[in-house]
Structure 1
Amino acid sequence: MLRISSFLNTQKQFIPNERYGVQLQFKRLFITCLLTLAAPLQAADNTIFQTLTTDTHNLDKYQWKYRPVVIFAPSKSDADYVHQMKILNESKSALTDRDIIVLSDTSPADNGRLRAKLEPIGFELVLIGKDGGVKLREKRPISAEVLLSTIDRMPMRKANLD
């Protein structure tokens, strides 16, 4: 019994060797890199869906960086708007991969400047290319496949894939 209790009470002294130190440093570096890379992805996920402000009169700040998908609707509870947002939410990674940012205007009474410029009636989805040009206008919700294939046919997208 004495042998067992003395065995349990003795503590092993761990003396790190050079190899262990290198492995530990590598693990720390690896974890730091993962956290650093994951932060922008998380931030991108949080900013992909935004509300369009009433004073926005153009989308110049997105030009050459993003492909804005502007969604106009009579209200947030509009059936077409709810359906379209559900479709887009289910395709977040594909949208992020294609540099898409979704901007919503669900308050026609606020007389937003971009709404006045594009003059949507009821529900409307407008895809703007990175060059700032209108690439697609739809009065009904569209599938993710239609949106993504439209983008995939664009010259800038093809160049990014090569």
Structure 2
Amino acid sequence: MQKIFALVFMALMANPLAAQDSAEGDAAGVPPIIFPADQVDLNEFLWIKRPLIVFADAPADPQFLQQMEFITARLDALDARDVVVITDTAPDAGGDLRRQLRPRGFMLVLMGKDGTIYLRKPFPWDVREISRTIDKLPTRQREMREEQQGDS
């Protein structure tokens, strides 16, 4: 199963348009939350979304594949927390995110809606742990209180 996922993911990453099409949601109504780094600007998400940036030196990096497997298995949990996933597997491209965050090999970065970096991990992290970290952020705490008040 992991080999099939790896092949499908590598095929999608080889063609940015195909990756964008796959990120546009599926029949279950999952909104697009995964984007290649060269197609986004972090300023687009300021105060709207929490960027989760996944860096790797190649699309076939085993850590990258494992992280994307974790993410795609729990897109609903990330979407509920206003997360957008940004992938960068092209170190030679020298994109703005790489210059700003300076990853070495695989790196996972979680940013808050205000642009603050809250987490840097040099290894894949389960979405459950990412969700717990997000749920401890002050902005998320306020959002959860507002959701509870809205349900009352």
TM-score normalized by the length of structure 1: 0.69
| 1:49 shift after superposition | 0.6
CA–CA distance in 1 between the matches of 2:86 and 2:77? 16
Q: CA deviation at 1:44?
A: 7.4
1:45 aligned partner: 30
Give the deviation of 1:113 after TM superposition: 1.7
Q: In 2, distance between residues paired with 1:134 and 1:44?
A: 30
SS of residue paired to 1:94? helix
Paired residues in the alignment total: 121
1:100 aligns with 2:100: no
Inter-partner Cα distance in structure 1 for 2:124 and 2:71: 10
Query: Which runs of at least 4 in structure 1 moved beyond 4 Å after TM superposition?
Result: 40-44
Alignment RMSD, CA only?
2.1
Give ranges in structure 1 of 5+ residues lacking alignment. Answer: 1-39
Structure with max Cα Rg: 1
Partner of 1:148: 131
Q: Is the 8 A contact 1:126 1:136 kept in 2?
A: yes
Change (3 A) 1:141 1:147: same
> How far did 1:46 drift?
4.6
- Measure the CA separation in 1 of the matches of 2:94 and 2:40: 9
Conservation of the 8 A alpha-carbon contact between 1:69 and 1:126: yes
CA distance in 1, matches of 2:38, 2:85: 13
Offset at residue 86 of structure 1 (A): 0.3
Please list every run of 5 or more consecutive structure 2 residues that lacks an aligned counterpart in the other structure. 1-24, 146-152
Q: Secondary structure at the match of 2:65?
A: helix
Residue 74 of structure 1 aligns with an amino acid whose one-letter code is: D
**How many angstroms does 1:42 deviate by?**
6.6
> Deviations along 1:11-43, whole A, 9 cap, x unmatched?
xxxxxxxxxxxxxxxxxxxxxxxxxxxxx9979
User: What SS class does the counterpart of residue 30 from structure 2 fall into?
Assistant: helix
For residue 45 of structure 1, report the CA deviation from its aligned partner.
2.9
Paired position in structure 2 for 1:10: none
Contact 1:55 1:112 in 2 (8 A): no
TM score, norm. by length of structure 2 = 0.74
Q: Which residue of 1 aligns with 2:114?
A: 131
1:74 corresponds to: 57
